[in-house]
Structure 1
Amino acid sequence: MVTVPYRLMRNVMVAAGVLYCSLLLEAVAGYPLDVHQSFLSELGARDQATSPYARAMDLGAGVLVLTAAVLGRRAARIHRDVAGLLISSAVFGAGTLFDSLSPMNCAPSAGDDCRAAGSGLVLHEFTSTLAGLGSIAMGTFALLVLRRAAGVRERLVAVLAAAVVVTQAWLGIETSVEVLTGNDLHPPGILQRVSILLVCIFLGTVLPGVRHACSR
Structure 2
Amino acid sequence: MMAVPARFQYRLMRDVMVAAGVLYCSLLLEAAAGFPLNIRYSFLSELGAKDQPTSPYARAMDLGSGVLLVLAAILGRPAARMHRDVSGLLISAAVLGIGTMSDALSPMDCAPSLSQACHDAEESGQTGAALVLHEVTSTMAGLGSVAMGIFAVLVLRRLGWGGLLAKAIAVLAAGVAITQAWLGVETGVEVLTGNDLHPPGILQRISVLLVCLLMATLLPGLRQAFIR
Alignment partner, residue 162 of structure 2 = 151
1:123 aligns with 2:127: no
Contact 2:86–2:225 (Cα < 8 Å) also in 1: no
Contact 1:149–1:213 (Cα < 8 Å) also in 2: no
Contact 2:40–2:202 (Cα < 8 Å) also in 1: yes
Once the two structures are superposed, what CA deviation does each residue of 1:163-193 show, in whole Å capped at 9, x if it has no partner? 1000100110111111111101110000000
State the TM-score, normalized to the length of structure 1: 0.96
Once the two structures are superposed, what CA deviation does each residue of 1:94-142 show, in whole Å capped at 9, x if it has no partner? 0000000000000011122112323321110100000000000000001
| C-alpha separation in 1, matches of 2:60 and 2:4 | 32
Q: Secondary structure at the match of 1:109?
A: coil
Q: Displacement, 1:208?
A: 1.6
Count of equivalent residues: 216
Alignment partner, residue 132 of structure 1 = 142
Alignment partner, residue 11 of structure 2 = 7
State the TM-score, normalized to the length of structure 2: 0.91
1:107 to 83, 88, 111: 111
Once the two structures are superposed, what CA deviation does each residue of 1:38-63 show, in whole Å capped at 9, x if it has no partner? 00000000000000000000000000
1:164 aligns with 2:176: yes
Contact 1:99–1:128 (Cα < 8 Å) also in 2: yes
Q: Displacement, 1:10?
A: 0.6
Q: Displacement, 1:204?
A: 0.7
| C-alpha separation in 1, matches of 2:227 and 2:169 | 16
| C-alpha separation in 1, matches of 2:192 and 2:152 | 31
After TM superposition, the structure 1 stretch with the greater mean CA deviation from structure 2, 205-214 or 27-36, is 205-214
Does the C-alpha gap of structure 1 residues 3 and 213 become closer, same or farther in structure 2, counting only changes over 3 Å?
closer
| C-alpha separation in 1, matches of 2:225 and 2:198 | 39
| C-alpha separation in 2, matches of 1:201 and 1:52 | 24
2:215 to 200, 203, 216: 203
Contact 2:79–2:226 (Cα < 8 Å) also in 1: no
Task: Structure 2: state its 5+ residue gaps.
Answer: none
Once the two structures are superposed, what CA deviation does each residue of 1:141-162 show, in whole Å capped at 9, x if it has no partner? 0110000223222121111100
| C-alpha separation in 2, matches of 1:103 and 1:206 | 29
| C-alpha separation in 2, matches of 1:144 and 1:73 | 18
Superposed CA RMSD: 1.4
| C-alpha separation in 2, matches of 1:103 and 1:3 | 36
After TM superposition, the structure 1 stretch with the greater mean CA deviation from structure 2, 140-149 or 37-46, is 140-149
| C-alpha separation in 1, matches of 2:160 and 2:182 | 27
Q: Secondary structure at the match of 2:180?
A: helix
Among all aligned residue pairs of Structure 1 and Structure 2, give the percentage whose two residues are the same amino acid: 69
Q: In the TM superposition, what are the counterparts of 1:181-200 in structure 2 within 5 Å?
A: 181-200=193-212
The ranges of structure 1 where at least 4 consecutive aligned residues each deviate by more than 4 angstroms after the TM superposition are: 213-216
